Structure 1
Amino acid sequence: MFGFTLKDFLGFERMVASSLVKLVYWIGIILGGLAAISQVFAAFGVMRYSFGGGISYLLAAIVGTVIGVLFWRVLCEGMIIMFGIYDRLGEIKRDLARGSQA
Structure 2
Amino acid sequence: MNNFNMKNFVHFDKMLTPAIIKIVFWIGAGLSVLMGLIMIIQGAGAYYGGGASIFMGLLTIVIGPFVVRIYCELLIIFFKMNETLQDVKTLLAKQNKPVNNDENKN
Deviations along 1:2-31, whole A, 9 cap, x unmatched?
Answer: x26472544422000011110110111111
Summarize deviations over 1:59-92 as a string: whole Å, max 9, x none: 1221133232221111001111110000000000
Give the unaligned 5+ runs of structure 2.
Answer: 99-106
Letter in 2 for 1:67: I
Deviant stretches of 4+, over 3 Å:
8-11
Give TM-score, length-normalised by structure 1.
0.81
Q: CA, structure 1 residues 12+54, in 2 after alignment: closer, same or farther (shift >3 Å)?
A: same
Identical columns (%): 28
Give the unaligned 5+ runs of structure 1: none
- After superposition, the Cα gap between the structure-2 partners of 1:23 and 1:93, relative to the gap in structure 1 and judged at 3 Å, is same
What secondary structure does 2:96 align onto? Answer: helix
For 2:45 and 2:31, the matched residues in 1 are separated by: 21
Alignment of 1:34-73 (within 5 A): 34-46=34-46, 49-50=47-48, 53-73=49-69
For the residue of structure 2 that corresponds to 1:15, the secondary structure is: coil
Change (3 A) 1:6 1:26: farther
Task: Identify the residue that residue 83 of structure 2 maps to in structure 1.
Answer: 87
Question: Mean alpha-carbon deviation: is it higher for 82-91 or for 29-38?
Answer: 29-38
Q: Which has the higher contact order (CA 8 A, sep 6+)?
A: 1
More helix by share: 1
Maintained 8 Å contact 2:33/2:60: no
TM superposition score normalised by structure 2: 0.78
